[in-house]
A and B are shown apart, each in its own frame.
Chain A
Amino acid sequence: MKKIHFSEWGIESPRYWGMLAVLGAIIAIAGGAVYYMEHNGHWVTGMTNQVVWGMPHVFAIFLIVAASGALNVASIGTAFGKKAYQPLGRLSALLAIALLAGGLAVLVLDLGQPGRLLVAMTHYNFKSIFAWNIYLYTGFFAIVAFYIWFMMDHRMKAWYKPVGIFAFVWRLLLTTGTGSIFGFLVARQGYDAAILAPMFVIMSFAYGLAVYLLVLMFVFKADGREIGAGLLKRLKNLLGVFVAAVLYFTLVYHLANLYGTENHAYEAFILRDGGIYTLLFWGGWVLAGCLIPLGIIYHPALGNSRSGIVAAATLVILGGFATVYVIVIGGQAFPMAMFPGKTIVASGFFDGVNGQPMLYAPSLPEILLGLGGVALVLLLTFIGIRMLRFLPTTLSDEVADPQHAKP
């Protein structure tokens, strides 16, 4: 393994500015959508008093979960001392910050009172996991910023490992906090499960790595940098392990629910009768998000081709959105069980009459806001790698792989 050099992203200026312009335009459209929703109020969205969190939350939670996962690549290099991952650390940390910024922007812009963000910063209820998350998120920005600095500045080398370990612990706490937003909700049948916190952690591993892989392959290809086949193989195998773990947690979560009669109605809703939620569970969460990527990753030919890896990572991300949609929206669409042994036959407030699910259809502005968050992630990342030395000049196996056998 040779010494690694880093350099700014070297694509031609017109292409760089063109991409920035496209991303900027998407963000501007999202800004328009936000103005429209905030000016009118949430009646212009698909959200109601029954399904109170909608598409913006699906995007926000996916991005926040992926943010902590994107940092994993750096953590493996630092906290676990795997040399092959160390050159990948800078981009990993940058992407983590960008993803969190994108996710939080979407979350905050959907608030009923986004202008009162200062209130959220000055009034705290420490029994609320949401309040804790405000600290976990802002702390994450700060810690990862220091982490990047110490990765880049050789004078701070002594601090590189301690901060890396601290960042790793912090990101575990952060995703635990995000999963607990749902895990702590005793009211709803789909939530109220401690397993949601570790499941979110494992989801973050998979989604974060998938996003990382796609961004890495794209930006390297764009300015003609090399990624060694050996390194790619490590990363895609790691993705395979993470995806398999998501599948495992999914299995345990539903098996536990299926065992207790109490949750049979909820399971029947998600697994069999839930319409769009059932479709997204099997087609998105399980098939597109887990089984097909696993098939590709461990396929002897597909798994070693770059397009195969791109396809697998893309499917993991799409499946991830489906997963978060089923958790966030599906969990609300299922009527709350308030009267066991009885059926609600009429209600003045849409209480799930005759077991009917709550209706929700995402509106265009909500989707545009979410896409704006995604565009913001890419914009921040591209600006970051253009301005500072985040990218290794090459990741060819003979340079970057410590186990590379000399030919």
Chain B
Amino acid sequence: MSSTEQQGRRGFLKKAATAAAAVVAPGVVLHALPATAAPRTEAVNAKVRWGMLIDANKCADGCNDCVTACDKENGLDLVDMPEGADEAHWERQRPRWIRQVKLKDNLSGKITNLPMMCQHCEKPPCVDVCPTGASFRRADGIVMVDRHICIGCRYCMMACPYKARSFIHAEVAEKLTHTPRGKGCVESCNLCVHRLDNGGRSTACQDACKHQAIVFGDLNDPDSAVSQALKKYPSVQIRADLKLNTGVRYSNI
């Protein structure tokens, strides 16, 4: 990319950021815009790349707030256990977009907590393997499933290095308007895309995290909170060896 292009993009994003009246300060959480923001009328483009930085030091042991918020935001709490299902088995079949993981360092015994979800790779293996192109990466970096053409083969679930995807194992009686869901398709975290498309600038998990462990924003905007935080603190990608250039980064793992 040429430097003039870069300049142009920065200029645009600065204007956009001002227009959006976002709070931009390192370490400070960006909050959702008021619901008055208009729904998107133009196609998303690559000037923006959504992503987040998760600070594992801030993520508290035993806290499940982000998971609960995600379940509620995306209607996962509406997915009922089918009648006659074995509860323990169903737990392994019910969909999850975000989950709490607790790690222990094998050498030091240090405990780390962190949320895991779709890492929104720049080169997502799930997109590579999908036979129909249902698994795709949107121009603004969100990896999602076009469930209109998903045939339910689950090859993306075989391919995802983060185990981020869920297959819908049963009929879903009640679903939210902004998060359609049906038996026989695969889905995963979409960074609350309905919020972003309707002018919002935060995800449910970020809003729910009272420890402010999650900073969400535009990775392409050098002034965004997430870019500033990434610049300031050392961070890693999970399974960096695969060189997938994830949109979700972690610090203090």
Contact = CB atoms under 8 A, between A and B. Distances in A.
A350 interface: yes
B239 A338 contact: yes
Interface string A178-192: 000100111110000
A184 B91 CA distance: 29
B106 interface: yes
Contacts of B238: 338-339
Given A187-B160, A348-B96, A128 B169 contact: no
B81 to A, nearest CB: 8
Nearest to B185: A112
A120 to B, nearest CB: 5
Interface in A128-152: 128-131, 134
Contacts of B157: 49, 52
Interface in B90-110: 90-96, 99-107
Contacts of A338: 116, 161-163, 238-239
Interface stretch (B10-18, B144-152, B207-215): B144-152
A336 B104 contact: no
B92 A342 contact: no
A371 to B, nearest CB: 22
A187 B101 contact: no
Contacts of A343: 103-104, 106
A154 interface: no
Interface residues of B, number: 62
A125 B132 contact: yes
Interface stretch (B24-32, B42-50, B123-131, B192-200): B123-131
B154 A347 contact: no
Contact of B67 (A38, A134, A341, A348): A348
Interface string B57-98: 000000010010000000000000010010001111111100
Interface stretch (A23-31, A40-48, A70-78): A40-48
A319 to B, nearest CB: 24
A394 interface: no
B225 interface: no
A112 B152 contact: yes
B222 interface: no
Nearest to B64: A348
Contacts of A43: 82, 85, 89-90, 93, 169-170
User: Chain A: interface residue count, which band?
Assistant: 35 or more
Contacts of A112: 150-154, 167-168, 183-186
B70 to A, nearest CB: 11
B117 to A, nearest CB: 10
B60 to A, nearest CB: 13
B111 interface: yes
Interface in A82-136: 111-114, 116-117, 119-120, 123-125, 127-131, 134
A125 B130 contact: yes
A301 interface: no
A219 interface: no
B161 A53 contact: no
Interface in B158-200: 158-163, 165-171, 183-186
A130 to B, nearest CB: 4
A116 B149 contact: yes
B133 interface: yes
A113 B161 contact: no
A359 B96 contact: no
A41 B82 contact: yes
Nearest to B132: A123
A345 interface: yes
| Most chain B beta-carbon contacts within 10 A, residue among A41, A114, A120 | A41
Contacts of B130: 125, 128, 130
Interface of B: 64, 67, 82, 85, 89-96, 99-107, 111-112, 116, 125, 127-134, 149-155, 157-163, 165-171, 183-186, 238-239, 242, 253
Interface of A: 38, 40-43, 47-50, 52-53, 111-114, 116-117, 119-120, 123-125, 127-131, 134, 181, 184-188, 332, 336, 338-339, 341-351, 359
The 10 closest A-B pairs by CB, nearest first: A112-B152, A112-B184, A187-B161, A130-B131, A348-B99, A48-B92, A349-B99, A346-B102, A43-B169, A41-B170
Given A42-B169, A49-B96, A348-B64, 6 more contacts: A48-B169, A50-B92, A52-B157, A187-B159, A346-B101, A348-B96
